[in-house]
Structure 1
């Protein structure tokens, strides 16, 4: 009698902001090798990507509702990959920025990331997991009109650096892409009063491929930071 063949379960990856743009591209890139949990504010927002990736599991929760987040992570006992992709870009000069704008930007781009990571640490530790943070070129330098956004991304980089030291069994990767061809980018460019030229920007697929390469890097290496810039045209 032949011995029964047992298949090794796929690693599990949770992607926040997975309903469209870069998050959806990351989901497509990781789907062949991972069981996916796809995060968004609502299940309805995930309809299109779930139609495309029917084996993925929706994980709808408002990331700044911390009681709801704590409840949502309760069923996650083991997590191999956590991709922090969700975030906002509410831009303006310092003179024009309000307390509300600063608070909302830091809340969405930094505090919510820190709390979700904290709550998922037991699940990540169980698998010696990998935390990938979608940062920005604004996390390396601040430009005029981008103060609150850059502050949130500089903070996100500091968070990644501290997490890497505090949790040496985990891998922690900061991805710093330049501007990406997404709906959010179209809004930003419109607010700048410029013509939108997609060829000036990175594609979501290019950045998603960098995320996959980081996740698939053999365990003897720790990809700490990846910086991507569009080729000048």
Structure 2
């Protein structure tokens, strides 16, 4: 039976790396992207994938888009990898900054999972959330992002308890700093030079996620923390 996966954030970084791995081995993919432009960019690399344009910054609109789209009736996994970050101290945050991070990193994954639960239950599938070290510890200037990541961690924990009876497994992945466009933005906002060779590579995280996806049904990995190797800063 061909395995089926829905991936958010497949346009770059960790999402692109895991989509490549799944595509290479012949799995069926549904890829959520924010704009038609990104859909056109992804189409040549994933000619057999179903690409769904859905804006994670608009959870209410996302729900309508999903119900109007042609989605699979059975899924082996939903991989929540898309995310946004915008660093600022609490004293300077705008409502728009807070709202975008909470919508994309927390509310939209909750909405997407709810809509796809019947398909996941049909195959006793996996819900995987790529979180962050900020989902474990909140530092100065990271409050909105960390709040969204603490929240999605709680969502995953609740979902795991609720859906165990349906055979659904839920995994939260906590990668340390990874060489992605988001990490470059973080460095820009921190005012530091960005050298991608210093950080974990997206493919490393993707291969760890692939291990979780392929785990036999007699085991589960509720949480996976990926740290930089000893030679890394």
CA distance in 2, matches of 1:104, 1:142: 18
Does residue 70 (structure 1) correspond to residue 67 (structure 2)? The answer is yes
User: 1:45 deviation in Å?
Assistant: 0.5
* Structure 2 Cα separation of the partners of residues 216 and 67 of structure 1: 31
| Larger-Rg structure | 1
Answer with 127-136 or 52-61: which moved more. Answer: 52-61
Q: Could you say which residue in structure 1 is the equivalent of 2:17?
A: 25
1:1-233 maps to which residues of 2 (within 5 A)? Answer: 8=1, 10-31=2-23, 32-63=25-56, 64=58, 65=61, 66-72=63-69, 75-168=71-164, 169-231=167-229, 232-233=232-233
Cα-Cα RMSD: 1.4
Q: What is the CA–CA distance in structure 2 between the aligned matches of 1:136 and 1:111, rounded to whole Å?
A: 16
| Residue of structure 2 equivalent to 1:3 | none
The gaps in structure 1 that reach 5 residues or longer are 1-7
CA distance in 1, matches of 2:218, 2:43: 34
Q: Deviations along 1:38-78, whole A, 9 cap, x unmatched? A: 11012430334432232222122113223223322x53211
Helix, strand or coil: the match of 2:103? helix
Q: Which runs of 5+ in 2 are unaligned?
A: none
Q: Residues 18 and 46 of structure 1 are in contact (CA less than 8 Å); yes or no, is this contact kept in structure 2?
A: no
Deviation at 1:183, TM superposition (A): 1.4
TM value normalised by structure 2: 0.91
Q: Deviations over 1:53-112 (max 9, x none)?
A: 32222122113223223322x532111110011121011111111222222211111011
Give 1:33 deviation, angstroms: 4.6
